[in-house]
Amino acid sequence: MSIYDKIELINKNLDGLSLLKAFEYIIKEVDGEIAFSTSFGQEDQVLTDTIFSNDLNVEIFTLDTGRLFPETYEVFHKTLNKYKKSIKSYTPDTLQLEQFITEKGPNSFYNSFEDRKECCRVRKIEPLKRALRGKRMWVTGLRAGQSENRSATPLLEWDSNFEILKFNPLINWSLEAVEAYLDEHKVPQNSLHKKGFVSIGCQPCTRAIEPGEDLRAGRWWWESSKKECGLHATNKN
């Protein structure tokens, strides 16, 4: 059976399962280490609570770009205190970052789309590659409702950019369902969510959105791209 046939079969078996049951099924089916990347947003906090509260065999890590909001570090701290478990932090390579800032300055991402993508590569893509090294599956907090670019994303897929299985257990969840889960389970949340920040990334690249705006409008608001840093880019991006 090819990897794509296996993925198709697993997706059929995942259909209709609860979040916890889906995780339990995936863990049994996947031969190898599983890792979940959290940015401490609302969706990611749902998954963190599920993994930690049920002692699931999934490693949790985060990408600390060095440009995050203080509020993001605060929810990171509160999450560690609540669950008493560790979250592995990956940071940009020191030499790469030093060279990049020396050559282009600290805010070159405002200059052009190419410079912004280069900043994302140094601060996020390269650390992600290190975090996923040796892993069989990458768990994400993607939701179809976050952007048009994510609307057709399946529960399980093959990520050809990072050559890894990618599990998106919340892909069919609504924002309302996410918020209800967080309130019911008393999960720490980023205080910026109540100030109009829906999708929260690096501080200089994120703003609050206005009523009626797309959920990703606050990310890299000065450009008209697909609002992706490259972590979840498709082959078409």
Residue of 115, 90, 134 whose CA lies nearest to 204:
115
Whether residue 232 is contained in a domain is answered as: no
Q: Is the pLDDT of residue 148 over 80?
A: no
Q: Is the pLDDT of residue 235 over 50?
A: no
- 10 Å CB burial of residue 237 (0-12, 13-18, 19+) is exposed
For 81-108, what is the mean pLDDT? 98
CA distances for 193 relative to 43, 198, 222, angstroms = 12, 6, 21
Check: CB of residue 125 under 8 Å from CB of residue 155.
no
Check: CB of residue 97 under 8 Å from CB of residue 122.
yes
pLDDT tens digit string along 48-79? 999 999 999 999 999 999 999 999 999 999 99
Those residues whose C-beta lies under 8 Å from the C-beta of residue 80, and which sit 6 or more positions away, are 86, 87
CA distances for 30 relative to 91, 103, 223, angstroms = 28, 43, 39
Whether residue 153 is contained in a domain is answered as: yes
Q: Range of 160's domain?
A: 3-191
pLDDT at 237: 38
Whether residue 217 is contained in a domain is answered as: no
Whether residue 65 is contained in a domain is answered as: yes
Instruction: Write the DSSP symbol of residue 202.
Output: B
For 194-215, what is the mean pLDDT? 92
Q: How many other C-beta atoms are found inside a 10 Å radius of the C-beta of residue 197?
A: 19
Is residue 229 flagged as an active site residue? Answer: yes
Q: Which of 119, 120, 205, 229 is catalytic?
A: 229
Query: Residue 35 belongs to a domain with what CATH number?
Result: 3.40.50.620
pLDDT at 52: 98
pTM for the predicted model, two decimal places: 0.91
Total count of domains within the chain: 1
